[in-house]
Every structure is written in C-alpha cells, then in structure tokens.
Amino acid sequence: MSSVVSLAELIERGGVYYNIGGASPVEVLNEATKAMILPKGLDRENLLTAILEREALMPTALGHGVAIPHPRNSMLTDQAAQRVAVFFLKSPVAYNALDRKPVNVLFLILSADARSHLATLASVSHLCQHPDFLEFLAKRPSKEELVARIAAAEASWAQAAAD
C-alpha cells in the first residue's frame, strides 16, 4: 500500500522555478518541462506530450491565477520519484480558467499512483481556496518560504483531523 507524501515534501523534491516564459499554455508548459529536474527515466518530450494531452481534455486552471498541469496517467512507478514543481510565470497567461483570470503560477504534479495524485490535487486545491495563500503566492516566495508555509498548513490540517 502506498503512503501519501506531503505536498511540502513533493515541492522540496520538485523545486520552485521563476520567470518561466511563454504566451500560451503550450509555450509555458514547454518551458516549464525544459526547466524542471526530472526523475531518472522520465523523458521530457513524453512528459510534455502527456501534459498537453491532459490539457486538451480539460484545462487544469483552478482559478485565482493557478493551474495544476499533470499527465492523465501516471508516468512514474517509484514513489520516491514523485514530485511537484512550482513555476512562477514571467507574464500571466490566458489558460481557459473558469474564472477567466490568467494563470501566473503552475503546480506541475508527477505522481506514482492515483491515491497520491488525488491527495496532492486536493492539497493544492485546498490551499488555493484561501486568499492569504494566494497573496503569499503573488509575492513569488522562495522555495524555502513556500515549503515552510505549506508544511505549516499541513501540520494544522493534521492537528485539526486529530482533534
């Protein structure tokens, strides 16, 4: 049975990247997949193709300037290779978001199984429902600040669940 890894740990593995260029979702995703450090054995072109195929089904913009691109099916088999890479875009990009707001932050999710994937999507979605977190993202925090903020949120969720 797989154990779900914390979002903070996934971002620690995946990294935070700044000033990703592009004028469209395709261009931004191309630049993002070029910039990120991939797990061993994962091909950049295959990853980009899988992400673009998923975007063609339905855009992954959550709203509030955030998108969560990901392949439709897992491309990883190793739990330890899972990661979330965060990309702050050079310029906001129209992304077919339901709220019509352009996207300026991507949380690119690479999961090894459906359970981890859904837990990661839920964590990002939950954080992005909070205006204070969105304001924090708008400041383009450092990787350390972002990981610390998310780890604190996850600790508070765990405490609330235990109470």
Structural tokens at position 152: 């604190």
Query: Of 64, 70, 117, 126, which is the active-site residue?
Result: 70
Q: If you search the block for the tokens 């099916």, which residue do you land on? A: 73
Residue 85's alpha-carbon distances to 6, 7, 15, 98, in angstroms, are 13, 10, 5, 23
In 15-156, DSSP assigns E strands to 16-20, 61-63, 66-67, 83-93, 103-110
82 Rama class: left (phi>0) / alpha (psi -120 to 50) / beta: beta
Q: Is the dihedral of CA 11, 57, 133, 90 positive or negative?
A: positive
Provide the β-strand partners of residue 80.
none
Tell me if residue 130 is catalytic: no
Active-site residues, by number, are: 70
